[in-house]
Structures are given as C-alpha cells and as structure tokens.
Chain A
Amino acid sequence: MIARAASRLTAEERLAYLLLGPALLLMAALIFYPVGATIVTAFGATDKLGRISGFVGWGNFRALGADPAFWQIFRRTFLWTALGVTVKTTAGLGLALLLNLPFRGRKVARMLTVIPWAIPYPISAIVWQWTYNSQFGLLNQFLTTTGLWPHPPAWLAEPRSAFAATMAVDIWIGLPFFALVFLAGLQAISPEYYEAAAIDGAGAGARFAAVTLPFLRPVIVMGSLLSVIWTFNDFSVPYIVTKGGPMNTTDILVTHMYKTAFQFLDFGPASAIAVITFVTLLAFSVVYARLYFREVV
C-alpha cells in the first residue's frame, strides 16, 4: 500500500512537471538570464555601454541611499502605488458589480468598459496630456462650460495637481482590467449560494458580505497584489504624461531608473534601482502572502 502511494505521488508529479514544462521553458529562456544579468550589474561599475568594468560591492546602493532625492522618489512611489491600487480595486469592484446587474444594454456597457484598456498606454498618456492642457484641452473647457468646476487648475503645470492628474490616468487605464477580472470572478459564484442566503432572509447587503466577498476574496487578494506590482512599475504613464516633471514631482522609481540608464548611461546604478524595486516588492509580497494567501496558493 505504501509502495502504491509512493508511486502514485511520483506519477502525479511527473505529469505536473510535464504540464509545467512549456511555461518553465519560456520563462527560463527569456527571464532568468536577463534578471540574473541585471542583478550582477547592480554590483558592478559599468562603462557607458553597460559592460561591467569592475565590481563595487554595495557601492551603487550606498550612493543611492545617500541621495535624498532618491528617498523622495521612493516615498512617492509608495504613495503612487497605494493610492492607485486602492482606487483601482474598489472602483473596479464597484464597476464589476454594476456590470453584473441584469439590465438591458449590459453587453454594450461591458464592451465600452474595455475600451480604455484597449488603447496602448503611451497613446492614452499622450491623449490625456493633450486633454489636460488648459488652452487646447477639452477637459477644462468641459468643466467650465458645464459649471462643474468654474476655475479648474492647469493640471500639469503644478506639482500637486500634476501628481493627481497623472495618477488619474493610471487609474483610468487600469480600471477596466479590474472590472473585468472581478466580473469573471462574480460569474464563478454559483447562484445556489445566493438562493440559499435569500431563503434565509438575507438582504442584498448581507448577501454581498456573506457570499460575494468570501468567494471573491482570492481574486481580490491576488488581483490587488498583481496591481501593486504593476502600478509600482508603471512606466509609460508618468514618463509620457509629464516626463517626471514638473521638477521631478511625478518621478517614480521606474522612470528614475529609465533616466539613469538611458539618459545618463549609468547602467550600474540603474540596475541597483531595479534590484531595490524587486526586493521591495518581494518583501511586500511575502508579508501580504502571509496575511492573505492561505486559500490562494
């Protein structure tokens, strides 16, 4: 009996590894080497071509740590991520619930929801940049003529409004994804559960709390974790909408890294930033997983 159990486990494992094969192969080929190369470069001094000329140990990291601007950018990236993910997940959930209600034209509404996501990020960024302009853009024109906001700010001209405006673009682009993922999640909830709850006399709110949320929890947890990672690393939006300005007040870690690498040709420090990003996200994920991941992994 033990022998049978042992052999069954192995067969199952064999099957598992076979099924994982293609995915692993792709990832090994295209990610492990580049990531490895980046980590190595982070500890090196590089020439302008990115070739390593020597090793400086923690030198690149120390230099970053000593730069107060770096910490500002670091903090800002946290703010950017926290706000962005919170709005995206809550608004996305709300939108998904809306799109789940039975009303005519729901199919059209769902289709329309996907559209912001269907536009390439750089193009969305440029269109928004144009729309935000106080002279040429239609946003302020709309706000003033409808009276919704008689004296709107020049969004990209000032640091604080520039940050909010850039964040709005990121949220705008990311919202359809969440709505869609949550919508798919809602579909997986069998109506039997709702029926059972309704029979017991639960109102809409209680049904949401007792059926919807528990079922969606894995999706929300994983979705928000992925969102944290993606938002943290969002490059196109801040880079194109404001190029990090005014006065670098919308610069986040990944745009700073890009500038360091491609504008200043400092590949060593840029790789160090990449490693810092990775370690930060890893630390966050570990904590997050410990708290929420029981049922997902």
Chain B
Amino acid sequence: MKETRSGAAELTHDFVELSEAGAAVRLPAASALGLRRGHETEEGGEGMRRKVALAAIAALCTGLLALPARGGGAASVRAVWMEYDARYNTFWQQLKKEFEAANPGITVDNVVVPWNEGHDRLVTWIAGNQAPDIAIVGTRWIIEFNKMGVVQPADTLLPKAFIDKFIQPALEARINGRLYGVPVALSARSLYYRTDLVKTPPQTWQELLAAAREASKSPGVYGIGVSGKKFAELTEYVYYLYGNGGDFFVTNPDGSYGRCRVNDAAGVDALRFMVDLVNKDKVTEPNVGENDRGTLQDLFLAGKLAMIETGPWFGGMIQERAKTMPFAVAPMPHNQGKPQQTLLVTDSIIVFKSAKNTDAVVKFLEYAYRDGPRLEFDKDFGMLPTEKSVARDAYFQTAFYKPFIQQLPTAKPWPLTADWSKVEDVMWDAVTAALLNTKSAKAALDGACREIDAARGIK
C-alpha cells in the first residue's frame, strides 16, 4: 500500500501525560489507535483490537485507582466560603493557615464559590450527599435547608458565652428561640449621596424627591438610581416598602406569616412613589430595566448618580475607585409620618448535620470568631460588626459607619420563609411591570399577592 498523507497520524502521535495526584497515566494515543508514521508495519487485526481495548481499560483503571479518597487526615473541617467580591481574597486561606498551625491534627479544607452560584452549588452538593461541614449561606436559605433536614442548629454546638457575644440585630437566624446559624456578615442599607450635589441629606421621601430634582439639574447627572433588572435582592422596592411602614406578609399571632399584604395602601404607595421617580418625575437614570444594583453602583462611581441606596461595602468601593468623590451617608429616607426603617441583611455560617468532626468544627469557629479575625473580615468585605466587642472598635466610630449602626436597632430583615425565592421572583415581575408601565402599581401588586398566596397555599 502506498503511504498516504499521515496528517491525522501526526496529530495524535504524541504521548499525552495525564497526571492526577502524582500518578502519571501515560496514554500512548498513537499506539492505542495503531497509528504509526510511514513505513512501520502493523500488527494483525485481532491483536490490534485487543490492544485498544486493553489500553482503554488500563487507562480507566489507573485513573480510578490513582485517586486519593476524599476527606483528609484525622480531623478535617470542610468549609464552603462565598466570594463577596471578585478580588482574590486570601482571608480564608490566611485563617486556615493560622488555625492549622495552632491546631495540629486538624486540617481545614477551603472551598470558595462565587456568591452568585453559591446557592445552586450548595443545593447540588447537598442533594448529591456531598454537603460540606460548614458553609456561609444567605440567612434566608436556612429555612430552605432546614426543610431539607440538613442543618444542625448552632446553639446545640456552641456555648452560650459564644452566642452572647453577638449584637441583637445580627441574630436573624434565631427562629422560635433556636439559633440555627452563626452571623458572619451584617449589613444595613443607607443612602449615599454626593455632598456637592445634595446640600442637606433628605430624611423624608418628599425631601428625597426635591433633592433628586435639584441634583438632576447638573449636566450629565441623574438624581437617584433605581434598578429594574431582576437581581438576587428585591431592591430598591423594599427600601420604599419598609420606609412606608409596609411589609410583605401579615404576621399571625403565633409569629408565622399569613397572607401577602404588599397590595395594601402602604405597599402600593411605596411602589407608586418609586415608579413615579422613574416615569413621572424622571429623576432617575434612563432605561432602569437594564440596570441592577451592581450597575447602579458603577454609575455612581462614574459620577452619573447623585444618590444611591446600598450597603456598607460600597464605601470601600468608593475609596478604591473614586477616592476624590465627595460623598456622605445618611439613614434611609422614610415617608412623612411613617417611622424610619431600613433593610437589614445577614449572612450566616451553618453547620451541616453530616459534619463528622463537630469538635473540630467548634474549635475552628471559636478561632475564627475572635475579635481580631472578625474585625479583619468586616474591613475586608465592608461589613458591619456583628459582635458587641467589635462594634466598640474605633474603626466603626467614624462618620461613615454612624448612620449604618444607628439604624440597626429598628432595621427589619427579609421575611424568613422557605418560599422566599418564589415570592421574590413574583415580586420582581410585578415591580418591573409597574416600572415598564404595563401595569399600574395597584394592579401589579394585586396580581403578585394573588400569585404568592396561591403558591403558599393561603386562602
């Protein structure tokens, strides 16, 4: 047979080295496929086929056997941390190193997941019986995971002295007297404003509108940011809802959530006010539907917004990206005649029932919750202090942190219900419909309540 173009043979001739955990599996692609350069002779058909089969099986087996079992040494703690921002953060790595040095015999296995994927990844791992030992979770996920039956309440493991360290507002994960998770991150939302464009911080909605109108007069600046793109949180509507004395559900005497009440006067007026800011008063950025909170923050940093409502981490972002921008922080405005109330959000660390080494877990948590690491965490990720002792630190006594901390006692968190995902989804559609003017605020919220009550099985 004449030699044909062996282009394909050239491609696969090279040996490929696959190494996993030290074991090198040589997959001699060329010989497995029987490809040789040019003139070498081939073996007989039968032998060739057997070689291919054997090579494949050998490779598979070697791969299988070469892997170390998961888990680790004597005691290990497997922790899932969420990435708050995209900066390559070494906080957890540092903590791991220091803890392991102080506690030989315990290894910490850090798994870092992008926040936006965190919930879905945890669901997958839990459903696949690969739950970690501890994980940072959005506190409202706790209800959900509890329904899955995988959460071990924190107060069964941690001593009372540990839990007493926390400030009251941070203990959102306390449900019916049981503390399910340990607070790790705390934020309250406030109004950031440009001091050169807004002379006095607005306290009421009426003052807010006036300030926005005034600031919009400056060229290239929009008064205030409103987001219309579906996002992980129902902001900014919740700020107006809470600021108008409204809430999502009626609270039953036993503390459980009753029917949906966003379509009452408080809720409708809140939505109407926000929608009017966009469509009637036109003091917001255009095309709200394409912006989520992240983009709003970027707009503020680019100097296009005079006011924005967001959390404490934003201060750090301003320092980093717009050092010279003159700004200040004020408590979240409220409707005239209604009490001031902002949103409070916590993230918690939960311990999974499947955790084998609870002693190691407790040791690690106690190490991680000393004042030093906690202060560093709050600084690194732009969070508010969760412990009384840390709250006393000079770092938090500045003019920047004052408005955040002063709102904590009256701030209200998201409703802690397992259906929250669905509720939020429905609410977002209602808010967007109102913003895009396809429905009136009342109609949108009426529809939302109908859907929410139906989904939750409330008559």
Contact = CB atoms under 8 A, between A and B. Distances in A.
A262 interface: yes
Interface in B136-153: 144, 147-150
Given A49-B148, A156-B290, A246-B289, A264 B299 contact: no
Interface string B42-53: 000000010001
Interface in B406-455: 421-422, 425, 428-429, 432-433, 436, 438
Nearest to A22: B56
B295 A136 contact: yes
Interface string B259-293: 00000000000000000000000000111111100
Interface string B208-242: 00000000000000000000111000000000000
- Determine chain B's interface SS by DSSP, over half rule: helix
Interface residues of A, number: 32
Contacts of B422: 263-264
A158 B436 contact: yes
Contact of A49 (B126, B228, B289): B126
Interface in B105-150: 119-120, 123-124, 126-127, 144, 147-150
Of listed A21, A22, A136, A267, residue having the most chain B CB within 10 A: A136
A190 B438 CA distance: 58
B230 A246 contact: yes
Contacts, number: 90
A244 interface: yes
A158 B289 contact: yes
B7 to A, nearest CB: 13
B371 interface: no
B425 A246 contact: no
Nearest to B49: A18
Interface string A231-268: 00000000000111111100000000001001111010
Interface of A: 18, 21-22, 47-50, 132-136, 154-159, 162, 242-248, 259, 262-265, 267
Interface of B: 49, 53, 56, 119-120, 123-124, 126-127, 144, 147-150, 228-230, 285-291, 295, 298-299, 302, 304, 421-422, 425, 428-429, 432-433, 436, 438
29 contacts: A21-B53, A22-B56, A48-B144, A48-B147, A134-B287, A135-B287, A135-B295, A136-B295, A136-B298, A154-B286, A156-B289, A157-B287, A157-B290, A158-B436, A159-B436, A162-B289, A242-B229, A242-B230, A246-B432, A247-B432, A247-B433, A247-B436, A262-B120, A262-B124, A263-B119, A263-B120, A263-B425, A265-B144, A265-B421
Closest 3 CB pairs of A and B: A157-B289, A154-B287, A245-B230
